Amino acid sequence: MVVSNVVVVTGAVAVALLILASSSAPATADEGHATFYGDDIGDETMEGACGYADMFKEVYGLETTALSVALFNEGWSCGSCYEIRCEGSTYCRPGAVVTVTATNLCPANYSKPRENWCNPPLKHFDLTKPMFLRLVTDYRVGIIPINFRRVPCAKSGGVRFEMMGNQWWVAVLVFNVGGAGDVRTMAVKGSRDGQWLDMSRNWGQLWNVNLRLVGQGLSFRVETSDGRALVLNDVVPPTWTPGQTFQANGQF
């Protein structure tokens, strides 16, 4: 059921469904630079400042990037997606392009303002090594000029929620979000209480509410930065425990 820009979906699924991403138009291209961090298999790109942990279990894989301070926006950009092209270097692979999800912060170093590409106001992407290698002929170039633009996130399966917290408060990591990708507001409703409760963003894409919801089935209302919202009913069963992950049957 669609009401204005809010879509209501009931239930959860345990298997992946192919969901179409938002049809919103991509942003215009901008200029920046890119480097890489980590090794060929991405060991050093797990976890990070967005709250995600295992990028493979959370279906981001190696198609990820850390954002410079200016782009990271204090964590509000976590989950957003970018199309990146190498431009203006002899090391660029002709026509090469990658699409990546923002999952981490490339931290500033204010003691070396002219040596750190992640200092504001620079627009910089610290890619995984496999993504960097798709753009260049030799990774030893180190840094490349790029054109980039924000694009809708195309995700497989529904929005996912990892349960955290304890009997006194609930924390939820929201991930695999399609469309705009970056969550702006969240609310939760317990099956017994029956009222929507606004959640607070703790950091990255970790959201919490300081109320007891143990023993209740949970529904979520998720709104992304483009103003689109999903009401995902009956996602989490009353038997949930911290550490479990649940997948809704709806996607942006």
Residue 19: the pLDDT is 35
Write the CATH number for 179. 2.60.40.760
pLDDT: is 214 or 63 the higher one? 63
pLDDT per residue as tens digits for the range 142-163: 999 999 999 999 999 999 999 9
**Residue 23, in any domain of the structure:** no
- Percent of the chain past pLDDT 90, that is, above it, reads 74
Please give the Cα distance from 167 to 28 (Å, whole number).
46
Please give the Cα distance from 75 to 201 (Å, whole number).
10
Q: What is the mean pLDDT of residues 119-143?
A: 95
The residue type at 212? R
Same-domain status, 165 and 141? no
pLDDT per residue as tens digits for the range 201-228: 999 999 999 888 889 999 999 999 999 9
pTM over cut 0.95:
no
Structural domain count of the chain: 2
Are 150 and 30 a contacting pair, CB within 8 Å? no
pLDDT: is 232 or 170 the higher one? 232
Domain boundary among 97, 132, 151: 151
- Percent of the chain past pLDDT 70, that is, above it, reads 89
